[in-house]
Structure 1
Amino acid sequence: MSHHEKQISSVVIKQIALLAIILILAALICFNLALFIPSVLGAITIYVVCRKYNFYLQEERKWKPWASALVLMLASLIIIILPIYFIADLLIEKLGNAQAYMTKFNVFIDKIHDFVYKKTSIDLLSKENMSKLKGTAGRFSTTALSGTFNTLTVVMSMYFILYFMFERPRLFERILASAAPLKRSNVSMIGEKMRKLIMANAIGIPVVAIGQGIIALIGYFIFGAPSPILLFALTAAASMIPIVGAAIIYVPICIFMIAEGQTGPGLGLAAYCVIVVGLTDNVLRFTLLKRLEDIHPLNTVFGIIMGMNLFGFMGLVFGPILVSFTLLLIQVYRNEFSDDDTPELELPGKGKNDDLENKIDLIV
């Protein structure tokens, strides 16, 4: 092998150097604008949800771009943002002072532990485990609630970004398409998959959560559970967690009510939650969410944990999207650079959209 054959191609060196510069600049931008990352994610989420309506108003109804943008921004604020904000605000208002809340929480856990140990002689929660549970709950609640204090700043900057995305959507999508160094089929696949993921997380999961919370609230009022409004907000938030879901809230409440001597109401609430609330969860998940996108439960679990650490309360929506998007990029990488002869991935659901969607090439 000659000396020239061992040399690295100048083209490869230029590509590596340019890629390194791009990564360094991107890292600097993200580091210094980290405060606006939730705003960007929120703007993209609302853009995808309202995308076809924006095109309909601008291209079919011939609305002015600014008018279409303002109307959709107002609609998204009323339908999507305000319900989430009111639940978060309700949690903050009801929980009040963090120290007082943790004192009540510790009493609540101690009473449940004493009741279970007295009836079964089983030490489910040792002193060490109880200390860990109380400490974890304190850190988690503080992290979740502190992430909501800058909500106003996030929402304002989100709508500032969203306005320019809505006003000239074709230009926005062309920029994204031209900036992506991928095949056209992969760009289309990412756009369609992300649309389904965002719809499932931004629309499907909150609808299931609020629906389950309302059904549970009825039971809390019927059987006289303590602080039913607070329990409604906690149940709605907990129902977003797969597998265990709202049981994290209503099972300890039922045990607490029985330990307080309210045996009949406690057992009645337990039966109501297991049957009615559980049935509501199954019906909504197997109808609404299955029609939007079938998201693996592990994606949601790890996404919520990561999202809560990164974005606070808003991470309930953004976390699972980021995890699913990461897995999607791995799939795209294999499809883009694999040397085997497997056919390219087809766009999911192609040809099944309505006339307006068929008219518009999805480039998101």
Structure 2
Amino acid sequence: MSFNEKQISGVVIKQIALLAIILILVALICFNLALFIPSVLGAITIYVVCRKYNFYLQEEKKWKPWASSLALMFASLIIIILPLYFIGDLLIDKLGNAQAYMAKFNVFIDKIHDFVYSKTKIDILSKENMTKVKAFAGRFSTTALSGTFNTLTVVISMYFILYFMFEKPRMFERILASAAPLKRSNVSMIGEKMRKLIMANAIGIPVVALGQGIVALIGYFIFGAPSPILLFALTAVASMVPIVGAAIVYVPICIFMIAEGQTGHGIGLGAYCLIIVGVTDNLLRFTLLKKLEDIHPLNTVFGIILGMNLFGFMGLVFGPIFISLTLLLIQVYRNEFSEDDTPELQLPDKDQELETKIDLII
């Protein structure tokens, strides 16, 4: 092999240099405008949700761009943002007084632990674990309090960005499509996949959460649970967590009520939540979420954790979208640059049996 054949192509060197410059500039922009990243994600989320209505108003109903933009912004504020902000603000208001909250929370935890230990002799929480639980609750309340003003800033800047997206939607989409250094088929796939993911996370999951929270709130009032409004907000947030969901909230409450001597009310609330709230969860998931994108539970769990750390309370919606987008870009990279002709692994439908074995070649 000659020396010239070992040399790196000048075209490759130029590509690498240009990519390095682009990455450095993007990193600088993101670092210095990190405050507005949640706003951009929120604007994109609402744009996707309201996209077809915006085109309908501007192109079919012949509304002025500013009129359709303001109308959809106001509608999204009432239907999407205010319910989420109400739950977040309620939690922050209740948990904001850290000293008073922690005193009540410590009594709550100790009461449940002592009751379970006296009945079962099972030490569900050792002293070390109880200390960790109490410390985590204190950190969460402090973080929630510090995120109050950030959420308002995110919402205001989000609608500022959203207005310019709504005003000239065709131009906005052409700019995005032309800026993406990908094949047209992959750009279309990203657009369609992101639309489904955003609809599932921004509409499906919050609707399921609010539905369970409202149904549980009725039970909390009926059976005299302490602080029913706070429990409503906690139940709505907890219902976003797959598998365990709202049980994280109502099971300890039922045990606490029984330990306080309200045995009938505690058992009644447990039965109500187990049956009615459980049926509500299954009904909404098998009707609404089935029509939207099917999101893996681990995606939701880690997305919520990531989103809360990065974006605060609004991360409950943005976190799962962020992880889904990352996985989607990995798939796009494979489609764009991989020379492997092996077809993608297609999993069988849930209602079908796996008739043939699949050999995974490593």
TM-score (norm 2): 0.93
Q: Which runs of 5+ in 2 are unaligned?
A: 346-362
Partner residue, 2:336: 336
2:334 aligned partner, one-letter code? R
C-alpha separation in 2, matches of 1:9 and 1:217:
67
Q: Equivalent pairs: percent with the same residue?
A: 88
Task: Give, in whole Å, the separation in 2 of the partners of 1:30 and 1:20.
Answer: 15
Alpha-carbon distance, 1:140 to partner: 2.6
Structure 1 residue 157: Cα displacement: 0.6
Structure 1 distance, partners of 2:146, 2:291, is: 34
Correspondences of 1:222-301 after superposition (within 5 Å): 222-301=222-301
CA distance in 2, matches of 1:323, 1:144: 22
Distance 1:110 1:342 in 2: 57
Cα displacement (A) at 1:270: 0.4
Name the residue aligned to 2:17.
17
1:137 Cα deviation from its structure 2 partner: 2.1
**Separation in structure 2 between the aligned mates of residue 135 and residue 39 of structure 1, nearest angstrom:** 31
Aligned to 1:194: 194
**Is the deviation greater in 97-106 or in 43-52?**
97-106
1:97 is matched with: 97
Q: 1:31, 1:86 → 2: CA distance? A: 30
In the alignment, the residues of structure 2 paired with residue 53 and residue 209 of structure 1 have an alpha-carbon distance, to the nearest angstrom, of 25
Q: Which amino acid aligns with 1:27?
A: A
Corresponding residue of 2:85? 85
Check whether the contact 1:303–1:323 (CA below 8 A) recurs between aligned residues: yes
Q: What does residue 133 of structure 1 align with?
A: 133
1:1-364 correspondence runs (5 A): 1-341=1-341
Q: Distance in 1 between matches of 2:174 and 2:77?
A: 26
Shift of 1:344: 9.5
Distance 1:342 1:121 in 2: 57
Deviation per CA, 1:40-98: give whole Å up to 9, x if none.
00000000000000001111111111111111111111111111111111112223411
The separation in 2 between residues aligned to 1:342 and 1:113, in whole angstroms, is 55
Native 8 Å contact 2:225 2:257 kept in 1: yes
User: Given that residues 92 and 141 in structure 2 are in contact (C-alpha distance below 8 angstroms), is that contact kept between their aligned partners in structure 1?
Assistant: no
CA contact (8 A) 1:116 1:122 kept: yes
> Does structure 2 retain, via aligned residues, the 8 Å contact 1:144–1:308?
no
Distance 1:211 1:279, change over 3 A: same
**1:149 Cα deviation (Å)?**
2.4
Tell me if structure 2 keeps the 8 A contact 1:145–1:312.
no
Deviation at 1:337, TM superposition (A): 1.0
- Mapped to 2, the partners of 1:170 and 1:106 lie a distance apart of 55
The CA distance in 2 between the partners of 1:330 and 1:144, in whole Å, is: 33
Partners of 1:247 and 1:92 in 2: CA distance: 21
Aligned partners of 1:66 and 1:125: how far apart in 2? 58
Aligned-partner Cα distance in 2 for 1:265–1:3? 85
1:350 corresponds in structure 2 to none
Q: What amino acid is the match of 1:208?
A: V
Aligned-partner Cα distance in 2 for 1:25–1:134: 43
Deviations 1:105-141 (A, max 9, x none): 1110011000011111111110011111111222233
| Structure 1 portions without partners, runs of 5+ | 346-364
Aligned-partner Cα distance in 1 for 2:118–2:343: 63
The residue type equivalent to 2:166 in the other structure is: F
Distance 1:309 1:99 in 2: 23
Corresponding residue for residue 358 of structure 1: none
RMSD, matched Cα: 1.3
Q: How many residues align?
A: 345
Q: Check the 8 A contact 1:69/1:167 in 2, yes or no.
A: yes
CA–CA separation in structure 1 for the residues paired with 2:146 and 2:277: 30
Q: How big is each residue's C-alpha offset from its partner over 1:193-247, in whole Å with a ceiling of 9 and x where there is no partner?
A: 1001100111111111111001000100110000111111111111111111100
Q: Which amino acid aligns with 1:301?
A: V
